[in-house]
Amino acid sequence: MVVGDFPTEVDTLVVGAGPGGYVAAIRAAQLGQKVTIVDKGALGGVCLNVGCIPSKALIQAGHLTEHAHGNEELGITTENVSVDFSKVQEWKGSVVNKLTSGVEGLLKGNKVDIVKGEVYFVDNKTVKIMDEKNSQTYKFNNCIIATGSSPIEIPSFKFSDRVLDSTGALNLKEIPKKMVVIGGGYVGTELGSAYANFGTEVTILEGAKDILGGFEKQMTQLVKKRLKSKGASIITEAMAKGVEESENGVKVSYEANGKEETVEADYVLVTVGRRPNTEDIGLEQAGVEKDDKGLIKVDKQGRTSQDGIYAIGDIVAGAPLAHKASYEGKVAAEAISGEKSEIDYIGMPLVAFTDPELASVGYSESEAKEAGYDVKAAKFPFAANGRALSLNNSDGFMKLITRKDDGLVIGAQIAGPNASDMISELGLAIEAGMTAEDIALTIHAHPTLGEITMEAAEVAMGTPIHML
C-alpha cells in the first residue's frame, strides 16, 4: 500500500534559518502570521555557526593572546605565554551553542514551526521538503527565501585538508606556523589578523591594488601597518596560480610584478568572495527571476517576480552582511502583512573587525561628491582623545561627512578601537536626519571613545575644542 503525500498547508514559509530567515520568521509571527521555517543545517545559518560569531570569538582570543605578551612601554612584561588551542576552540563552540540554542528558543517562543530538510520548489505555491528518509509537500500562501551564500572555490585551489575555506580556517586543530591567505577582503584580513595575533606567519595575496576594498585608503593603511607589525606580508596586485599539497603543508604559486613566485605554508585560506545559494532549489519551476550573477531580482519590499514570494540576504543584490539580511527579513515580513515598509540602505553600516577596526555608514567623501552633494569632511584623530590614549590604542580617526549648506550628516568613516560599536550612533544620526549641531549638542560621557563623535561634529561646525 502506498501512502499518499498529502500537502501540508502553511501561511508563511521561510526557507533558510540564518540571520535573515530566522529574524523574518519571528517578525512575521509577531505580525500574526502562521510561520514555518525550514533549513537543512543548524539554526542560525553560516553567521552564527561558521561565520560572524565564531570568527569574532577567534579574533577576541587572538587579541587576548597578543595582550598576554605584555607591553614594555607600559612596564608590563610576561614570560612563557602559552595557548591551548583546543580550549580556545572549545570556548568558541560554547559561544556558538549558546546563540543557536537561543535562536531555537526564540522561534519556538514565537510559535514558529521548525522543520529540518532541503527545499525544492515545485511551482510558485508549492515546495517539497526532503530529509534523509522522507519527502513532504508543503503549500504556502507566502514564502521568504533566505538561503544565503557559499564560499567561492577557485578551480586551481580545490578545498581540502590543507586548502581551506573560512569554515575550515575557523576549525583548525592547531595554530599554524605559516598561513597563506588568498583574498584581502574583510574575511581574509580578519582571519589573517586573528592568526597573526596567535603568532602565525601570515602572507596575504590580494589581486586588487589594495586590501579591504570598499574602505578608504587612509583607513586600510592603518590595518596594513598593524599587520606588518605582527610579521604579516601583504602582496597586492598578485594573481594566485596554483597549489602543491603535501602531507605537512602547501606550496602556493602566484604572479606579482611580472614574476612568478612561490610561498610555502602549513595551510592556504581561500577567501575570494561568496556565491548565492540559488541553484538546485527549483526557482525556475517557481518562475522566480535571477540576474546573470545568480542573484534573485527583488523590489524595495523584497518581492520577487512572483507575487507572494520574497527573497532576502546574500541571494539578492548588495553586500553579504548578516545585518543587511536581518533588516531585509523584517521588511519582507512586514510587506506580507500589508505594511508600507520598504528597503533603504542609506544607514547600512559596513564593518571590518580588523586591527584597528574599520567602520563606515552612508556616503564617503568621494561618493557624496559623485552624487552631487557639496560636502564638508570633518576629521578628528583618536590621538586627541583621553580614553584612546589611556587604552594605549590611539591610532585612527573619525571622518564625518556633512552637507555644507545645512550641516546634515550624510556619512561617516571610523578607523580605530571599537569602531564597530561607535558607528551605530552615526547610523542613527543619518536615519534621523540629524545635523552636526545635533550631535555636538548631545552631551557625551567623559572619558569615552564616544566623545570622538561629538568632537568630529564640532570640527564640522568649525568650533573644535580639543583640536586646533
- Between 52-68 and 85-109, two packed helices, what is the crossing angle to 10 degrees? 140
Report the C-alpha gap between 37 and 112 in whole angstroms. Answer: 7
From 63, 67, 69, 446, active-site residue: 446
Residue 296 CB: number of other CB atoms within 10 A? 24
Cell numbers for 341: 515598509
Cell numbers for 283: 526557482
Cα radius of gyration rounded to whole Å, the chain:
24
Report the C-alpha gap between 350 and 216 in whole angstroms. Answer: 12
Is residue 69 flagged as an active site residue? no
Is residue 267 within 8 Å of residue 172, measured between CB atoms? yes
Report the C-alpha gap between 305 and 290 in whole angstroms. Answer: 9
Concatenate the DSSP letters of all residues of 156-203 into one string. TS---SSEE-HHHHHT-SS--SEEEEE--SHHHHHHHHHHHHTT-EEE
- The per-residue b/e assignment along 38-69, b for 16 or more CB within 10 angstroms, e otherwise, is bbbebbbbbbbbbbbbbbbbbbbbbeebbeee
Concatenate the DSSP letters of all residues of 57-109 into one string. HHHHHHHHHHHHTEEGGGTEE-------HHHHHHHHHHHHHHHHHHHHHHHHH
Place of cell 577567501: 271
Report the C-alpha gap between 56 and 190 in whole angstroms. Answer: 9
Catalogue the active-site residues. 446
